[in-house]
Each structure stands twice: as structure tokens, then as C-alpha cells.
Amino acid sequence: MSQAALKKKALDYHRLPKPGKLSVESSKPCSTQEDLSLAYTPGVAQPVLEIAKNSSKAYDYTNKGNLIAVITDGTAILGLGNLGPLAAKPVMEGKGVLFKQFAGIDVYDIEVNAKTPQDFIKVVEAIAPTFGGINLEDIAAPHCFEIEAALKKKLDIPVFHDDQHGTAVIICAGLINALHVQGKTLDAAKIVCLGAGAAGIASMKLLVAMGAKKSNITLVDSKGVVHKARTDLNSFKRGFARTTKLRTLDEAMTGADVFVGVSGANLVSPAMIKSMADKPVVFALANPNPEILPEKAKAARSDLIMATGRSDFPNQVNNVLGFPFIFRGALDARAKQITEAMLIAAVHALAELAREPVPASVLKAYKLKKLAFGPDYILPKPFDPRLAERVPQAVAKAATKKTVAKKTTKQAATKAINLRR
């Protein structure tokens, strides 16, 4: 499809038959006088009084327990940059569609015109009582780190920055499986990460939590290797600064087992791929155009495993495999926060699922005759129906183990099944 044709199709999709992608629907009947008296006055006063006596009753009498705020300041929209909060609205609506489609979660998209991180934090804190969780989206680094940390301290509901943790979960799940196929282990892998923003730093942190050695990780930003002699590093980059003679991406790639790119298009050359260790893993995740196209990477090395952020290539690293189901598990367990243990549980659930036989419904959805765990299939497909059970259950179980949840795993599983019926 040409760029002109794609543009027209995308704009028509968002404009017709009515503008936007989200709408509000009533979950209760309202077609008689009695229905009206229950939906609003005088009947509505009864749940009001119950909630006033016990705030936890909001989960029984309102949609709070199944409602997420997808909220942004528009400072880092996709790969398009800082285009402002209103321009981010189509993305936030799209996120709402995915929450609903894949996990049955309701969403209000909220675009905030905030001049400072403190202003943004105040807005979210003020509206938080409405929601069962907060999904932060498209907020530029380093402000995104400050905002998330502050809100986690202030709120008693899950706060999740998908650009950080959702991306990290999918990268980790795919990388564990890719290394397994290549006969390598995470603890021994030499990893180069190009991109030191939200996704890059969060992914490296989660990999370390899962067993990667920080001494084996080389972080590279727009100025080169993040090393201890540099004086221009923020506190988040300093956490990965190494004592090393390496200065350029070219130098860092030599002998590396893994490349993770969360940066920009065409920044990796075939020569860099050739310089990597035997059986390398290359995750070129910049969108819409990766750091190196699969055909160029595979022409340079026939022994690599390649993943991108695009659906038209094998092994798409797609956040939709993570955030709907992570939030589903957190909401079902009524968790107060999404912990590292919950993220790791999601990683293992995704990785294990990819190693199992693929259901016929997935083959049909993707018009495939066969699909099996291996170099071109290291992550489940988004339309795999097993995701909706496996990942939320794993997340909810991890929440109850860490006592960050108000419901037992059995209660959470029962609620999840009921919501998806």
C-alpha cells in the first residue's frame, strides 16, 4: 500500500462513520420509569451513602474496578515527538480500543496541558479517585520517570508507564526465548542497548532483575556509549554508566550477543551486525522504520534471530501482548501497585506460552498453515486467546504473593472470567 493510500485509509477510519474510536455505553437497562429512578434519583442515593461510609464499596457499586485512565501530556507521541496533548488523543483512544478489545477494560483517555511534571502530577492525583488504575502514555524522558515515581508514592491504585514497563516485559520475554533458541543464557549474554530513554532504561533494569549482569550491558545514547567519564548524564543513565574504553556504537557491537534498539531508523549497519558474536539476537524496535531492516541484517548474518516493532515482519515486539493483560491481572487482584515481581510473572507467562503448540484459531487469524517455536516465532501472536487467561492469572498470583493486592488469586480469576464472558 502506498503512503498516500495508507494516509487516506487511516484518516477515513478515524473520521467515519463518526469521528473517533471510543464511545460510552450504559451497562444497565434504562428503558422504563423504574429503571430511570434506579439509575439516577432517587435510587442513586443508596450507593452514594454506602460509598461515603466505606470507600471500598466503590468497587461494588461503580465501574472503578474496571476503569483505567490512559493519560498523556503529548511530549513523546509514538516516534513523532512533542506535538502536544491534543495531537496525542488519537493514540490515547487507540490504547483504549486495545484495552477493551483484548482485556475487557474500560478506558477514559485524558490529554493534559501541563507545563511542568509537577502540574501533571497534581492533575492525575486530583482525578485518581475515579479510576482503578493509571496508564501513563507518551511522556518524554526523563520527566516520565519523575512523574511515575511521584504518583506511585501518592496513589493507592496501580500506576503504569507502558512505554517503560510494557515495552520492557515484551522485550524480556522475546529475548529469553531468542537466547534459548540460540543456545545462550541471559546471565552470560553481552547486551548492547541503543536508546537511553524510557523504554531502553526500563528494559535493561528488568533484564538485570531477571538475571542479566549489569557489567555485560552497554547503553548507547545519541552521544555514544554511556560511560563513567561522561559529565552529561542524568541520574537514570548514570545507573548504567560503565568503566570502559568503548565510545561508539560500532565499537560496542563488536562481539555482542544481543542488540536491542529503541532509538531511530537506519542507525545500525550490516558491518555492525557482522561484527557481533556467533548466533546473535537483534531486536531493532524503532517504529515505523527499524534501526536496520530484517533483509539487510539477514543478508549480513544467516545465524541471527531478528525482531522488530512491525507487524509485517516475523517476531513483532508489540506492547499489546502486555499492558491489557498486566492491567487485567492487577485490577482483578485489586492491586495497589504493579510491582517488579508482577512484571517478571508476565514475562515468564508470555515466554512459556510461545513454546506451546499454536491454536488453530491463531493460524486462521494470521492465514498460516503452521507456526512453531523457533527463530521466526519467539513471542505469542496478539490474537492468541490464551493470553487473556495466562498473563492476568500470573500477574494476579504475583500480586497476592507480594501482598500488594486486596483479593486472593482465586477471587481475581473468578472476576476475570466473569468480565470476559
Q: Which residues are catalytic?
A: 40, 95
Burial call 311-340: b when 16+ CB within 10 Å, e when fewer: eebbbbbbbbbbbbbbbbbbbbbbbbbbbe
- 333 touches 399 (CB < 8 A): yes
- 415 touches 407 (CB < 8 A): yes
- 198 touches 141 (CB < 8 A): yes
The closest alpha carbon to 222, from 195, 204, 243, belongs to: 195
Number of Cβ atoms within 10 Å of the Cβ of 301: 18
Q: For residues 315 and 378, what is the distance between their CA atoms, to the nearest angstrom? A: 6
For the record, the C-alpha cell of 138 comes out as 507518551
Which residues, including other chains, have CB under 8 Å from residue 105's CB and lie 6 or more apart?
66, 67, 68, 99, 324, 327, 328, 331
CA distances from 78 to 2, 75, 225, 288 (A): 21, 10, 24, 9
